[in-house]
Amino acid sequence: MRLLLVEDDDHVAAALAAVLAKHGFQAVHARSGEEALQALLPAANAGKEPFAVVLLDLGLPDQDGYQVCGKIRRITSTPVIMVTARADVRSRIHGLNLGADDYVVKPYDTGELLARIHAVSRRRANGEEPGPVAETAQRLGRLTLELPTRRVSVDGEPVQLTRKEFDLLALLAQRPGVVFGREQIISEVWRTSWEGTGRTLEVHVASLRGKLGMPALIETVRGVGYRLVVPAPRQGP
């Protein structure tokens, strides 16, 4: 399985590539944002196995990793895992809003990174798009989910969500008012039972609340999980 390792430190990249190789991954090393973008172009991959995952360091010499992530999203849907020392929640949310599929904080355990790589690439292995899929649109108060086209709007205004954000919202919308356990959500959206994904779940929930402009939409049930609270229709003047 090929993956693109975007890391400007040759020693870090070499050590990680060696570990990845032991687990069946062929790491292609890019030392800058521009080199990474060139490596992802269709012309550069003609006749080659598509990249399964991009491991993207944010501290690159030529441009900020956030900028690179945004550019990657304009040329490919390959899953992106940000790997960085920026541990604050705001940085995580910003990365996910730009289209990253996951976010790993340095220093990390190698087993953690491998688990996350497998989690984001598992569905892609057979060319499948992730997330729960339904046949019709759902209207839940002010919120509308057009499930076949993966579009979301609030009061008729479109809202741009990442793939995982949409998957999470669509899962909760299957049964409004019903509590989904954290383990169930992680299993169905991230396709893994690895408990460390819980922090990623919290970040995605926070990002969804902010993007939709409805903090009370997703209710936290302490010690259990989350449920979707149907928003009331907006009253006219």
- 160-208 residue pLDDT tens: 999 889 989 988 988 888 888 888 788 778 766 555 566 889 999 999 9
pLDDT of residue 101: 86
Calculate the CA dihedral of residues 172, 227, 220, 210 and round it to 10 degrees: 50
pLDDT of 128 higher than 50: no
Reduced to 3 states (helix: H, G, I; strand: E, B; else coil), residue 153 is strand
Boundaries of CATH 1.10.10.10 in the chain? 138-228
d(CA 171, CA 132): 6
Task: Identify how many contiguous H helices and E strands the chain contains and give both numbers.
Answer: 8, 12
Whether the Cβ atoms of residue 55 and residue 81 lie closer than 8 Å to each other = yes
Residue 43 CA: distances (Å) to CA of 5, 28, 29, 37, 119 = 19, 16, 17, 11, 28
Amino acid of residue 165: E
Boundaries of CATH 3.40.50.2300 in the chain? 2-126
pLDDT of residue 130: 40
Looking at residues 99-115, what average pLDDT do you find? Answer: 86
pTM above 0.85, yes or no: no
CATH superfamily of 2-126: Response regulator (3.40.50.2300)
Here the tokens at position 141 are 């108060």
Q: What is the DSSP letter of 232?
A: P
CATH 1.10.10.10 fits 138-228, yes or no: yes
Looking at residues 20-49, what average pLDDT do you find? Answer: 92
Q: What is the DSSP letter of 49?
A: P
Reduced to 3 states (helix: H, G, I; strand: E, B; else coil), residue 46 is coil
